[in-house]
């Protein structure tokens, strides 16, 4: 069960978030009179509101909050588990702390601290992904190298749109980023091992010993 904890949390999170989208009454930043949740115009943050943007009571809120709890646990566990595969002590500690701290900050995105927590959580996530990508680039996992770099670029692009206030495109990119990040963490979690990140360590040690 522990081995599949990240996968289980991701699945539960997606199920609850999808249920929340089905229960959302309506209203978006483009059209407050729209009906239901529009994946191209609504944000996940709309699901956390006490009242939907059309003014109606929002029954999707509790489902979205539960989904967000499992989402934050999944991402936190991912960084903690990945830290154990990294051969460098400094990077291991950084990823481990990001995992623990970001569990709280990611969930707080669903509260009134949304804007601040998006900035804090996104920054920590970017740092963690950057560290992991650096070590992936040192491995022989060619496809994962491209996937990791692509994931980072998509993540950065979405954050740029958020900062620029391009809400129309951001609504779409939010879903793209969510899907890509989810697939990326599951790939790293279940298709990489400690030895993948340690393959170049003996060579490095031999070079160091030779220099001495």
Q: Is 199 within the bounds of a domain?
A: no
pLDDT at 212 over 80: no
Residue 205's pLDDT is: 45
**Could you tell me if residue 178 is inside a domain?**
yes
Structural domain total, the chain: 1
- Under 8 Å between Cβ of 73 and 9: yes
The predicted structure's pLDDT at residue 211: 45
Q: What is the mean pLDDT of residues 42-70?
A: 94
| Residue 205 forms part of a structural domain | no
| Three-state SS letters, the chain | CHHHHHHHHHHHHHHHHHHHHHHCCCCCCCCCCCCCCCCCCCCHHHHHCCECCCCCECCCHHHHHHHHHHHHHHHHHHHHHHHCCCCCHHHHHHHHHHHHHHHHHHHHHHCCCHHHHHHHHHHHHHHHHHHHHHHHCCCCCHHHHHHHHHHHHHHHHHHHHHHHCCHHHHHHHHHHHHHHHHHHHHHHHHHCCHHHHHCCHHHHHHHHHHHC
Is there a domain that residue 85 lies in?
yes
Could you list the residue range(s) of the whole structural domain that residue 135 is in?
2-192
**Is the confidence at residue 64, as pLDDT, over 50?**
yes
Q: Is residue 200 part of a domain?
A: no
Is 71:178 a contact under the CB 8 Å cutoff?
no
Identify which of 65-69, 158-162, 167-171 has the greatest average pLDDT.
65-69
Question: How confident is the model at residue 199, as a pLDDT?
Answer: 64
* Average pLDDT estimate for 29-55: 92
83: number of Cβ within 10 Å? 20
For the ranges 25-34, 101-110, 114-123, the one whose mean pLDDT is highest: 25-34
pLDDT at 203 over 60: no
Q: Does position 53 have pLDDT exceeding 80, yes or no?
A: yes
Predicted confidence at residue 200, as pLDDT, reads: 59
pLDDT confidence bin for 117, thresholds 50/70/90: confident
- Is 80 inside any structural domain? yes
Identify whether 210 is part of a domain.
no
Kindly tell me if the per-residue pLDDT of 2 is higher than 80. no
Residue 105 lies in a domain: yes
């Amino acid at each position: 069960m522990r081995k599949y904890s990240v996968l289980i949390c991701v699945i539960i999170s997606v199920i609850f978030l999808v249920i929340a989208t089905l229960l959302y009454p309506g209203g978006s930043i483009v059209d407050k009179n729209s009906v239901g949740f529009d994946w191209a115009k609504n944000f996940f943050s709309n699901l956390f509101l006490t009242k939907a943007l059309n003014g109606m009571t929002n029954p999707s809120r509790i489902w979205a909050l539960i989904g967000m709890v499992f989402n934050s646990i999944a991402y936190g566990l991912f960084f903690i588990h990945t830290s154990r595969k990294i051969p460098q002590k400094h990077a291991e500690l950084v990823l481990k702390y990001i995992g623990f701290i970001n569990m709280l900050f990611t969930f707080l995105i669903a509260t009134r601290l949304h804007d601040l927590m998006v900035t804090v959580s996104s920054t920590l996530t970017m740092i963690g992904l950057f560290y992991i990508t650096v070590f992936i680039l040192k491995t022989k996992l060619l496809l994962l190298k491209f996937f990791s770099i692509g994931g980072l670029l998509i993540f950065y692009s979405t954050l740029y749109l958020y900062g620029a206030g391009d809400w129309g495109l951001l609504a779409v990119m939010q879903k793209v980023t969510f899907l890509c990040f989810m697939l990326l963490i599951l790939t790293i979690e279940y298709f990489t091992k400690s030895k993948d990140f340690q393959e170049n360590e003996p060579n490095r040690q031999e070079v160091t010993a030779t220099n001495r």
